[in-house]
Structure 1
């Protein structure tokens, strides 16, 4: 049994002091979920976030949580156990605040309840509608038996929206066949009344929208003769400057390319037009991959945010987490979500921010592919897996006894600003929530690997933190970072990545040269190429409709791009008939290069 490492002094910080930043996946106590598809396996998961601002706080509802979270700063989230939760468990809920109350509606295939609360901070929920009426015109058939124009049961994946004139609307749909629907509704005398028949709002068109294609990097090449496997789901409505943005997630949450798109209209029930700059939120690379099926909200300072579902996918393809990204609505109507360095630390704004890109701290990932050692190892689950920035690979200790440790050698002394400890679920067994489901650990640091000082300690707050993010009060100059285990609720101590952020000495890499952009015969695809940059750890391919608005990013690590003087990557997320502009930037532990010359992609 390993011994608890000695703590010499504590010159830095306790874990929860004066936070200013956050990192994705967000640091909440994701609840354990048991999927009958996976016998005797429990795992933490979070998906389908609906975040609303209500009075002085933000409330997060999600799939299979048995409650919800509250925050006043978008950094610290507190779980609230509701007074009533009459459903088996809420899946892909709709939530909306009308200023006086929050209305909460679960996905449903048969009539269930709708709840409301005027005091969400207390957990007190009341029935707004005790039993939802059947969807007008819906037919109880298997999808393959339905005819064109028939409406499936539901509403599944609902979204609520109350317009400025007080009129309510309901949107819903989750299918690879059927469209998203919308209807005007009203809440009258404890009932929901459909004031208009369900009307198709929009549908996918993967033949023209490359990002709507299923599979990793949209490469569902294994089933060319089958109907599209892509799913359109997760409706959400946002109104800005008189425009209605009906958003949706596609093509599926079990791959890296899950994204959010939008259609626009000047009326809440359409007709809606496809936005040529889609997807609006896209993150196929990095540690927190995927950003589909989310919500859009405005914070108290007037900044916009888009949330989404980030893919884990080890225990089950739809094992997920929640991510939060800054967004913007441009004066010409374009909706854009910034996912550049999206799982690196970002500032949580305390005032209006004109450019979401300015929220990136500039703290770089110092731990990527660095040497890691552990106090013990179970089988093939070795310590080096904790620095590969992949949530589907992890280290497992031989047991969960206090004192098990994991150490990362940064290779030289560097300025450390924050650490993120990402736990994994490995053969956790089947169990329900209990008092001992929490994570507790100490972080230590050393300049020489022999004398250790305390860096952070989570014992002040006893909760489960599968993606614990610990910002330091001030920079710490050090070389070694060590995780020392105290407690975990699962059957195994498993960590997917110990991510250390800060800056290293030296210069940022040079801007990439020789950037080329070649549209394929299939114009949904393009090949982007550039010259390798000396000293670069990774690259961001950035593209958009305008050279001054490169809104989409694919983050790549250099060692995944092969060898040679010239590098390339296929981008398969383009829209037919739309021209783009493309550039590339390089990054390392010191910082980010200038942007390369911007090239057209006609």
Structure 2
């Protein structure tokens, strides 16, 4: 009888129409979480979802994600499926750029502040349970903070520290905390408990310059401190030069003591993604998954409704044999596998699923009539620019976007990114969720449903990522046409800034391009050029036309950890302004198309 009951319950749980979570083995940046509408720009009547300043903590083999002004946090067991949690108590205001830390069976949480605020702790964060560790961390002198804090526990010495800073005037600060006094500042005088760790130096560090591609003379910002200890060395990380542009990255200083002295890492930045769809990856943290693999989180820039409109990314990270810290952003906004074991190769998580519809034909069921200065056509969802988008004539079920891939391809995954166009929502409640269907066709006439979010628990997906299940024979779905069919989003408008289809064609990868690199007199800059394999064949080499390129560089021929992605319809020359004075560099290039990635070119060195 017991077996019959279990079988009955299993049939009920798997019955058609019952909401079931998706089973996925891959993820795609920006992260697919239920970003919250918030009040940052309420007085200006600007409504938008946003997420910034992420911290992911591995706590008792499960993961917790804390993000600026979200009213709570997210909990996951696999780094793919994230459930939103509302705490049972909260500080006097929502948390901005929170610090979080797991030590043994306890999770600690602290908010950015210039005032007196408490440190919380929890032994049941999955239930939203918070308790006061201390009631008031003493006030520091005016304008010092701690804003953008990070907590650190040194397992080897059982000592505690805090780091912080968010300014283009002040440095990153650090202080020891006294656990015997509930993590208040060590010593008797809080005004003397902290000291400067380091300042930005944009005159020597090109990537620390402000503006798009480091082109603005405005004084840059340092923020988002984080500490990682690896093999006895301390890596004090920081974000720079500003969240509003494509070049927002993470750097590190290295030392043998938690409070310095510090040495600037010549390979900085450690996390950097200025090209592609999800640009920017600064102000995050570094954590290890359950297999010991390192990850680096960060903030990706949207910037349409407001300069600080952002999303969250996470990238595989690590330390090489020489102790050099890195984050791998190569194809960082393409699908990646989640690891199931310790990684042996820094690129092994990349699925090899390529973007199939860059600037391909897209047809919409309707388009909103707007002023001549606004462009909201369907083609905008395929241009890889998060600040351009399509707006439907009405936010109603049945609206569609259909992209023509030009030929039948293997379809592996789809990403649908929404943008808040003239929204009126200022708080995420039970009415804020996302539902749609994905359909495919080989002839543009008969379509089959391959994904249906109406069969899942209701959840908001500002950056919805859907892995397309394989056919019954285990092979990928084959299609030329891929359709988004709308069901529901909250608010008056339906606006989508990216409809991205991933998979593989059946042709040849591009020929390996050829590049040159010349260091300028200002050593922070280098002039790069490369052959354009989009329309012409590289002499002596064969392959299908390229749709894009990855410029890869680093401080040694076997340390090409940095990547800048370009498309073939962009100029094939570029002034790179992210280098460090006095550091030799090495460059190489690879081309890619819908079929895959070329071999890496010869490495070019510059002094």
The reply to whether TM is greater than 0.5 is: yes
Residue 416 of structure 1 contacts residue 477 of structure 1 at CA under 8 Å; is this kept in 2?
A: yes
1:104-129 deviations in Å (ceiling 9; x for gaps): 00000111121110111111111111
2:501 is the counterpart of 1:525: no
2:44 aligned counterpart, secondary structure: coil
Structure 2 residue corresponding to 1:153, chosen from 134, 137, 144: 144
Equivalents in 2 of 1:527, 1:461: separation in Å? 51
Residue 392 of structure 2 is aligned to residue 397 of structure 1: yes
Distance 1:204 1:51 in 2: 25
Q: Which residue pairs with 1:538 in the alignment?
A: 548
Partner of 1:502: 503
> Which of the numbers 449, 466, 470 marks the counterpart of 1:470?
466
- For residues 289-324 of structure 1, give each alpha carbon's deviation from its aligned partner in whole angstroms, at most 9, with x where no partner exists: 000000000111010000000000000011000000
User: 1:430-441 to 2 correspondence within 5 Å?
Assistant: 430-441=425-436
Q: Measure, in 2, the Cα distance between the counterparts of 1:348 and 1:598.
A: 30
Deviations 1:240-298 (A, max 9, x none): 00000000000000000000000000000000000000000000001110000000001
Could you say what secondary structure the match of 2:601 adopts?
A: coil
**Which moved further from structure 2: 539-548 or 192-201?**
192-201
1:169 aligns with 2:169: no
For the 8 Å contact 2:292–2:342, the answer to whether it is kept is yes
Distance 1:100 1:571 in 2: 46
Deviations 1:354-411 (A, max 9, x none): 2221110000000110100111101331100000011100000111111111111111
Q: TM-score, normalised by structure 2?
A: 0.91
Whether 1:419 and 2:419 are equivalent positions in the alignment is: no
Q: 2:225 aligns with which of 235, 239, 245?
A: 235
- Residue 103 (structure 2) aligned to one of 98, 113, 134: 98
Deviation at 1:190, TM superposition (A): 4.6
Answer yes or no: is the 8 Å Cα contact 1:15–1:457 preserved in 2: no
Q: Secondary structure at the match of 1:211?
A: helix
Selected match of 1:385 from 377, 380, 387? 380
Note the C-alpha offset of 1:455.
1.2
Task: Give the superposition deviation at 1:338.
Answer: 0.3
Contact 2:41–2:47 (CA under 8 A) maintained in structure 1: no
Cα distance in 2 between the residues matched to 1:282 and 1:452: 40
Q: Please say if 1:370 is aligned against 2:360.
A: yes
Q: Contact conserved, 1:17 with 1:473, CA < 8 A, in 2? A: no
Q: Does 1:448 align with 2:443?
A: yes
- TM-score, normalization by structure 1: 0.92
SS of structure 2 residue aligned to 1:385: helix
Residue 341 (1) aligns with residue 331 (2)? yes
Out of 273-282 and 529-538, give the one that drifted further.
529-538
* Partners of 2:253 and 2:277 in 1: CA distance: 29
How far is the alpha carbon of 1:491 from its aligned partner? 2.1
Q: Distance in 2 between matches of 1:288 and 1:407?
A: 22
The CA distance in 2 between the partners of 1:35 and 1:336, in whole Å, is 33
SS at match of 2:201: coil
- 8 Å contact from structure 2 (residues 65, 73) kept in 1: yes
Give the Cα–Cα distance (whole angstroms) in 2 for the partners of residues 476 and 493 of structure 1.
Answer: 28
2:177 to 185, 206, 209: 185
SS in 2 for 1:121: helix
- Alignment match, 2:542: none
How far apart, in 2, do the equivalents of 1:38 and 1:305 lie?
37
Structure ranking higher on relative contact order (CA contacts 8 Å, 6+ apart) = 1
By how many angstroms is 1:38 displaced?
6.5
Note the residue ranges of structure 2 that are not aligned, 5 or more in a row.
1-18, 471-475, 535-544
Cα offsets for 1:5-26 (capped at 9, x unmatched): xxxxxxxxx9954311000001
How many residues are treated as equivalent by the alignment? 564
Choose from 37, 44, 55 the match for 1:39. Answer: 44
Q: SS at 1:291's partner residue?
A: coil
SS at match of 2:48: strand
Task: Report the alpha carbon displacement of residue 153 of structure 1 after superposing the two structures with TM.
Answer: 3.2
RMSD: 1.4
Q: Would the aligned equivalents of 2:55 and 2:100 in 1 still touch at CA under 8 Å?
A: yes
Shift of 1:527: 0.8
How far apart, in 2, do the equivalents of 1:386 and 1:298 lie?
A: 34
**Separation (CA, whole Å) in 2 of partners of 1:15 and 1:329:** 38
